[in-house]
Structure 1
Amino acid sequence: MKTIADIAKIAGVAKSTVSRYLNGGSVSEATKQKIEQAINETGYTPNPFAQSLKAKKTSFIGTIVPRLDSYAASHTLMGIDEYLKEHHYQMIISNTSQKIEREIEQIYHFASQKVAGIIMLATEITDAHLQAFEKVNIPILLVGQEHKEVHCILHDDYQAAYAIGEYVLQKGHRKIAYLGVTEKDIAVGKRRKQGFKAAIEKEECEVRFFETSFNKFEAQNKAAELLAEFNPTIIVCATDNIALGALRAAQLKGLKVPKDISITGFGGYDVTEIIHPGLTTAKFFYQEAGRMAAQNILNLVKEKEVPLVTVSSFEIIERESVDSIRTFHL
């Protein structure tokens, strides 16, 4: 692999001259032609990170999302975009289709574009992510996931799940199915499960935990399986999309919600209010979280002090999808 020193030697100029040329500095036309010829002959590719250290940062904020067809992602992006525009910054969006290798590539790509900072709507933080964060050396902020070394905006997943657990117990349910996602997703897969378990441990319950994906159709299939296997009085779902899948599975089996089976979700998506029956859910304020994320990343860009963890609020929305289980004593 050729270096600046190799290019300088072939072109017959100083390394500093090659560096100045690569960073858009002033060089004579004759020198420029020599350097370009040497680059063409060798196939030399400049190191974007070395260049970005000397170059002025832009007013762009790179935003990495795992999927665009998500209520949570789209409303978070709306909040980010609104705040950035108000402060004369612009957002560049990259969709990674839930592929970790694309997330890593995009971190490096954004850095090569000299963005001022990166907001990442993460589902999982790996060693490769942390290595990329360190290499690019620009402000990075996570939304929805937590890591002790990275600034983040969190939804209050544990407390929201604890509140849902208390609500389920209050309604008298003691035979409960929890339909979640992989614990590799710390926020949705692990924290929500932990909060729910902590709440229901206060009562003697028969609880089984099942796992699916974020896809509502896969959730529908898994819900159909657990209904045949377990016959709970309620399915507590880790997201509203999963709850929509469970609702459809129940309907296809001829079960009435909430008379035959109760269902809850997490998220507070708009559709949960207009479907019948309306879905009881823990509502998160995604747009507000997006504005908080944009505010924090700009403060990091300006080298202002920012708390490592900022927590967004939630609210339990009670609708028609949960019935009360009454115990009668003779």
Structure 2
Amino acid sequence: MTKKMTMADIAELSGVGKSTVSRFFNGGYVKQETREKIQKIIEEYNYKPNAFARLKAKQSRLIGVIVPTLNSKITGRVVTSIDRYLREKNYTTLIQSSDHDIDQELENIQRLIQMNVDGILISSIAITKDHRELFAETQIPIVVLAQEYEEGISIIDDDYSAGRYIGAYIGKTGHQKVGYIGVYETDVAVGIRRKQGVIDGLKEYGITDLIIGKSDYSFIGGQTVAREILEKAPDVDAMICATDRLAFGAYKILQKAGKKIPEDVSVVGFGGYDESTLLTPELTTLKFDSYGMGYFGAETILKMIQKKRVSKKQVVDYKFIKGGSVKNYRCAESPDLL
């Protein structure tokens, strides 16, 4: 059985001391000429350092990533982007899921701190008093994704502007009776800011009597609220959904009720999921730059570790994707909307 290579072996083959090799792996200063020697040996012998063996080092080269769920397309894009960026910089990503549970999220933060990660990226459900106290106590750099964190560093979607865009789009296409399938307000970004944007966008076109329902992020939740909206307003002509998954639920209930999309009821979402193109008709939706969020988050956390200046808040862009799920009642006067 071939003996596993150690840092001591790398030091001997490189002609340097073990402390120099340790500094190389832990981000300390090593002369460029020496770095090249060590790197050559690593590549020649395909050496893979054990990340957990470095936990006691000043720098572990581990970055913790906390996400609300692992079954979300948006989360998948963000995490993929983070991991790609960090791997290129010789960092290892440790991913924790909170399963949309605040207490679990706080426990994940504490666990990662105990594991001596160099920094934490957290796509938070909500920033609570407990979060703020925990962030203040630790010296580890933390970047908050998807929620604005006024006391620290955050990367956010432009939820308000996105919501206003969709609200205005439904308004200018001539809809009159609009339902909104939102999420609970514990999620400030989606539950409050995105919803307020939708309300303000509709108001520009004189629509103020919005029928609002709240749900979790699930497909079943989307069905439940869509059913409630239909019961309250059988003549509803549009449903705006806070996420594509909620829109999937709305599709199912509308079809069960014998409502045609978009002839009877228009449906629009947020997310730009790939599955949205498989619906009939394809869902009109708005796609946030989730890969950009992951990239900016990873770039920012490494800058913070290196004590470089970073922007307090970065806002990622979005793109409107026009499917076939919105009817234009003003087609004759505004054909460009189709």
TM-score, structure 2 as length reference:
0.79
Q: Which residue of the partner structure matches residue 44 of structure 1?
A: none
| Residues 140-159 of structure 1 aligned to structure 2 (within 5 Å) | 140-159=142-161
Q: How far is the alpha carbon of 1:204 from its aligned partner?
A: 2.2
Q: Secondary structure at the match of 1:322?
A: coil
| Residues 71-220 of structure 1 aligned to structure 2 (within 5 Å) | 71-205=73-207, 206-220=209-223
Moved over 6 A (4+): none
1:249 aligns with 2:256: no
Q: How far is the alpha carbon of 1:55 from its aligned partner?
A: 5.2
Q: Structure 1: which amino acid aligns with 2:262?
A: P
Aligned-residue CA RMSD (Å) = 1.7
Structure 1 pair 327–97 and aligned structure 2 pair: CA distance change class (3 A): closer
Query: 2 CA distance for matches of 1:178 and 1:312?
Result: 24
Instruction: Kindly indicate whether the alpha-carbon contact (under 8 Å) linking 2:182 and 2:214 is maintained by their aligned counterparts in 1.
Output: yes
| Residues 223-238 of structure 1 aligned to structure 2 (within 5 Å) | 223-231=226-234, 232-238=236-242
Which digits, 9 at most, give the CA deviation of each residue in 1:266-306, with x for residues without a partner? Answer: 01111111221100011111112111110011111111111
Q: Secondary structure at the match of 2:263?
A: coil
Instruction: Kindly indicate whether the alpha-carbon contact (under 8 Å) linking 2:156 and 2:314 is maintained by their aligned counterparts in 1.
Output: yes
Query: 1 CA distance for matches of 2:98 and 2:279?
Result: 30
Q: Secondary structure at the match of 2:239?
A: strand
Q: Structure 2: which amino acid aligns with 1:160?
A: A
Query: 1 CA distance for matches of 2:195 and 2:250?
Result: 17
1:276 aligns with 2:312: no
Q: Secondary structure at the match of 2:116?
A: coil
Q: Secondary structure at the match of 2:282?
A: coil
Q: How far is the alpha carbon of 1:325 from its aligned partner?
A: 2.0
Q: Which residue of the partner structure matches residue 262 of structure 1?
A: 266
| Residues 285-296 of structure 1 aligned to structure 2 (within 5 Å) | 285-296=289-300
Instruction: Kindly indicate whether the alpha-carbon contact (under 8 Å) linking 2:190 and 2:242 is maintained by their aligned counterparts in 1.
Output: yes
The count of residues paired between Structure 1 and Structure 2 equals 277
Instruction: Kindly indicate whether the alpha-carbon contact (under 8 Å) linking 1:299 and 1:306 is maintained by their aligned counterparts in 2.
Output: yes
Q: Structure 2: which amino acid aligns with 1:295?
A: E
- Larger gyration radius, structure 1 or structure 2: 1
Query: 2 CA distance for matches of 1:177 and 1:280?
Result: 16
Identical aligned residues as a percent? 36
Query: 2 CA distance for matches of 1:137 and 1:190?
Result: 31
Q: How far is the alpha carbon of 1:246 from its aligned partner?
A: 0.5
Which digits, 9 at most, give the CA deviation of each residue in 1:235-263, with x for residues without a partner? Answer: 00011111111111101111111111100
Q: How far is the alpha carbon of 1:203 from its aligned partner?
A: 2.5
Q: Which residue of the partner structure matches residue 303 of structure 2?
A: 299
TM-score, structure 1 as length reference:
0.81
Q: Secondary structure at the match of 2:105?
A: helix
Q: How far is the alpha carbon of 1:326 from its aligned partner?
A: 4.3
Q: Secondary structure at the match of 1:163?
A: helix
Q: Structure 2: which amino acid aligns with 1:227?
A: L
Query: 2 CA distance for matches of 1:263 and 1:209?
Result: 14
Q: How far is the alpha carbon of 1:87 from its aligned partner?
A: 1.0
Query: 2 CA distance for matches of 1:120 and 1:75?
Result: 14
